Amino acid sequence: MKKYNIVIVALFLIFNHVMAVASGSVHLERANNILSDKTSLQKGAILFATRCMSCHSVKYMRYNRVARDLGWTDEEVLKKLGKVNNKVVDNIIGSMSETVAQAAFGTKIPDLSLISRLKGTDYIFSFLRSFELNTTTGKWDNRVFLGVAMPNIMPKPKDEASLEKYDEDVRNIVNFLEYVGEPAKLKRQHLGWKVMLFLFILFILVYLLKREYWKDIKH
């Protein structure tokens, strides 16, 4: 039996190692964002609009959907996130055109609608916090995205006191991007609890019914 255990542990370790190598073995920090936290999502949406939307879009999302899900009115969502002339039915599109982006960064700017599904929340959290200025080239380096063309948008504060707020800001943005990646998740998780509760009550009723039926039968 012991031998089998050793084999299983060995296989597990090898598998882990292979997975780490396959994923580029970059250590990611945990985002620890809480999707059900509406205040965090609202803050994240506002930070996304002010810090990221000069370049990035989340084109599969509309303003009125955000309003509905995060608890804002149509007027509020436009005031907080929209650009001049935006309507609530518009998709959320960043300000930079493809030609300007190409000229400025030498690459396309990715749409971030599905980035949380594609790379995960821990990745975005770590990516935003891993910019470092390369003193020889004068360009930004990023250990989770080597040779990145994006500048450092969320520079870490130098003083300890501001660090907590900084972490929270980044976490809120990540939270918003997780929501954008799968808006139905909010509802699904909420519904999940109701379904579980329903099943639990149903179980009790069925059990009582069974007892009632079998009461007079010898078995």
Q: How far is the CB of 37 from ligand HEC (least distance, A)?
A: 18
Q: How far apart are CA 15 and CA 4, in angstroms?
A: 16
CB of 94 to ligand HEC, least distance (A): 8
Is residue 154 involved in binding ligand HEC (CB under 6 A)? yes
Beta carbon nearer to ligand HEC, 23 or 73: 23
Say whether residue 153 binds ligand HEC (CB under 6 A). yes
Contact between 45 and ligand HEC (CB under 6 A)? no
Site string for ligand HEC, 164-203 (x = CB under 6 A): ---------x------------------------------
DSSP H helices, 48-120, are 63-70, 74-81, 98-105, 115-119
Q: Which residues of 148-179 are buried (b: 16+ CB within 10 A; e: fewer)?
A: bebebebeeeeeeeeeeeeeebbbbbbbbbbb
Beta bridge partners of residue 140, listed in sequence order: 133
Nearer of residues 46 and 74 to ligand HEC, judged by Cβ: 46
Among 127, 131, 140, 179, binds ligand HEC (CB under 6 A): 127
By CB under 6 A, is residue 49 in contact with ligand HEC? no
**Residue sitting closest to ligand HEC (CB):** 52
Report how far apart the first and last C-alpha atoms of the chain are (Å, whole number): 41
CA atoms of 39 and 77, how far apart (whole Å): 14
The Cβ-side half-sphere exposure at 175, using a 13 Å CA radius, reads 24
CA-CA distance, 199 to 192, in Å (whole number)?
Answer: 11
81 is a site residue for ligand HEC (CB under 6 A):
no
The smaller minimum CB distance to ligand HEC, of residues 81 and 148, is found at 148
If binding is defined by CB under 6 A, does position 124 make contact with ligand HEC? Answer: yes
Instruction: Choose between 5 and 134: whose C-beta lies nearer to ligand HEC.
Output: 134
Contact present, 154 and 166 (Cβ < 8 Å) = yes
CA gap 73, 97 in Å, rounded = 29
- Which of 66, 109, 180, 181 binds ligand HEC (CB under 6 A)? It is 109
Place of tokens 């990646």: 181
Instruction: Please state the closest distance from residue 147 (CB atom) to ligand HEC, in A.
Output: 7
Binding site for ligand HEC (CB under 6 A): 51-52, 54-56, 105, 107, 109-110, 112, 115, 119, 124, 127-128, 145, 148-151, 153-154, 173
